Amino acid sequence: MKIDILTIFPRMFDALNESLIGKAQTRELVDIQTVDFRDYADNKHNTVDDAPYGGGAGMLLQAQPILDAYEDIESKSNTKKRVILLDPAGKKFDQAMAKDFATAEELVFICGHYEGYDERVKTIVTDEVSIGDYVVTGGELAAMIMIDATMRFVPGVLGNDISAYDDSFSNDLLEFPQYTRPADYKGMKVPEVLTSGNHELIRQWRLRESLKKTYLKRPDLLENREFTNEEEKMLREIKADLL
């Protein structure tokens, strides 16, 4: 996969050279390139922002440097591109979107600053996306979150035995509690079933705990979910136990 990031703070993306995403880059599972769109500003001071027509507080990113930087990227490859505009007014990013982005050949992220963008930037955009209902100082952190979550779905990135499809949210349930050694830490014991070696009982226990945790912490995730008969029965029992 190829990822291009249009930003005026390219060094922020050095963080992607660490950990799993860093490894994915060395292993050439992804090619991440930053493009400083300030380099494309067509004025001698290299400014990329200006005051909004009609008045109002703050500055807007101009369309010209961003559109020219994108044109340069486009001229270098004819892969189909998904162009993502980081914007608190966009659609809220989630695990399903990460999975979908992971199927693209090339992703282009446009990171904004100041009060927003000149509306004409949107002529090249395929997706306007937000990381949540809060405003951060720029799109860079938001882009890094999306790149990280997306890369987890690119085959090979997590290693062979781990799958992002088992993570919380991937089946619309939160992940069950996990334990590692020792089995007894200062009197805090690991649930006996987990040390029983009985795979079927362990599976049932995990499913029940996932359902319970989701019901208690994120009931909204259950609202439109389709349940198996087993899950429905467990959920009824969980609710009865909690009464």
Interface residue list for ligand ADE (CB under 6 A): 86-88, 112, 130-132, 134-136, 139, 142
Minimal distance in Å, beta carbon 86 to ligand ADE? 4
- Which is nearer to ligand ADE, 132 or 191 (by Cβ)? 132
Identify whether 161 is a catalytic site residue: no
Mark whether 167 is an active-site residue: yes
Q: Quote the Cα angle for 78-138-174, to 5°.
A: 85
Cβ 135 to ligand ADE shortest distance, Å: 4
Least separation in angstroms between residue 74's CB and ligand ADE is 23
Our answer to whether residue 152 is catalytic in this structure is yes
The nearest distance, CB 112 to ligand ADE, in angstroms, is 6
CB of 98 to ligand ADE, least distance (A): 14
Encode the chain in three state secondary structure.
CEEEEEECCHHHHHHHHCHHHHHHHHCCCCEEEEEEHHHHCCCCCCCCEECCCCCCCCCEECHHHHHHHHHHHHHHCCCCEEEEEEEEEEEECCHHHHHHHCCCCEEEEECCCCCCECHHHHHHCCEEEECCCCCCCCHHHHHHHHHHHHHCCCCCCCCCCCCHHHCCCCCCCCCCCCCCCCCEECCEECCHHHHCCCHHHHHHHHHHHHHHHHHHHCHHHHCCCCCCHHHHHHHHHHHHHHC
Which residue number, 12 or 207, has a Cβ lying nearer to ligand ADE? 12
Q: Is 177 an active-site residue?
A: no
Q: Which of 72, 115, 118, 148 is catalytic?
A: 115
**Closer to ligand ADE by Cβ: residue 116 or 177:** 116
Active-site residue, selected from the candidate residues 68, 167, 172, 175: 167
Nearer to ligand ADE by Cβ, of 84 and 234: the residue is 84
| Strand 184-185 versus strand 188-189 pairing type | antiparallel
Nearer CB in complex with ligand ADE: 126/204: 126
Catalytic residues: 88, 115, 152, 167
